[in-house]
């Protein structure tokens, strides 16, 4: 799997998580859920975006290396 494909898979998984959480929020509306969102979900978006950017940068480096070695 290429770094770019991995980034796409990570983004897809994150979006799936957010959609599933959005579906259960009306039933799970208490302080525990808000703490969970604050502690895990809110920081996760920034971490996922940073990971995707790093994976895309790595993909460019690997592509340059492939061209240089060809």
**Where in the sequence is the domain holding 37, given as residue range(s)?**
3-69
Check whether 1 has a pLDDT greater than 80.
no
Q: What is the pLDDT of residue 45?
A: 93
Check whether 4 has a pLDDT greater than 90.
no
Total number of domains constituting the chain: 1
Pair 7, 49: CB distance under 8 Å:
no
Check whether 70 has a pLDDT greater than 90.
no
Q: For 16-53, give the secondary structure using H, E and C.
A: HHHHHHHHHCCCCCCHHHHHHHHHHHHHHHHHHHHHHH
**How far apart are alpha carbons 40 and 66 in whole angstroms?**
37
Q: pLDDT tens digits, residue range 8-57?
A: 999 999 999 999 999 999 999 999 999 999 999 999 999 999 999 999 99
């Amino acid at each position: 799997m290429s770094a770019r494909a991995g980034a796409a898979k990570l983004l897809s998984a994150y979006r799936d998580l957010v959609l599933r959480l959005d579906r259960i929020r009306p039933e799970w509306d208490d302080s525990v859920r808000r703490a969970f969102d604050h502690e895990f979900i809110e920081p996760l978006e920034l971490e996922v975006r940073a990971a995707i950017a790093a994976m895309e940068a790595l993909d460019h480096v690997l592509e340059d290396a492939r061209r240089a070695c060809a």
